[in-house]
Amino acid sequence: MMTLYTADHEWLRIDGDVATIGVTDYAQSQLGDVVFVELPKVGRTLKKAEAAAVVESVKAASDVYAPISGEVLEINNDLAGEPALVNSDAAGKAWFFKVKIADKSELNGLMDEAAYQKHIA
């Protein structure tokens, strides 16, 4: 299992041809208290860089972009009832959705953890 990051503060955990996607701890710290999360529909085909989900906090609403292209296999229904999970466990229980990776070459432009830490420093 490998974790990669985008410049827009999404993380992807790659397991075979499935990517689990969420927002980074840094992203949730910038947002403040998350009050609502809107997730994509299962079965939707996302294109890389397309707005896939929305996170609303007391400060602002932010789009979450698809870091890669693929079909949405599963969404995290826990976030509907408990959006504050994004604040308490951004890199764990608060994953947003899983996609079947359409084109693994799209992973090439993403950052590993060391590069991401430099990016946010």
Question: So what's the pLDDT on residue 92?
Answer: 96
Contacts of 11 (CB under 8 A, 6+ apart): 3, 4, 5, 21, 22, 23, 24, 91
Tokens representing 119 are 């990016």
13-25 pLDDT, tens digit per residue, is: 999 999 999 999 9
Q: Residue 13 to residues 36, 58, 81, 82, 88: CA-CA distances in angstroms?
A: 23, 28, 23, 22, 18
42-85: pLDDT as tens digits: 999 999 999 999 999 999 999 999 999 999 999 999 999 999 99
Q: What's the start-to-end Cα distance of the chain, in Å? A: 25
DSSP conformation class of 111: B
Domains and CATH numbers, the chain: 2-120 (2.40.50.100)
Per-residue model confidence as pLDDT tens digits over 77-112: 999 999 999 999 999 999 999 999 999 999 999 999
Tokens, residue 108: 């090439």
> What is the reported pLDDT for 28?
95
pLDDT at 27: 95
Mean pLDDT of 33-43: 97
Write down the pLDDT at residue 79: 97
Q: Please report the pLDDT score of residue 52 as a whole number.
A: 98
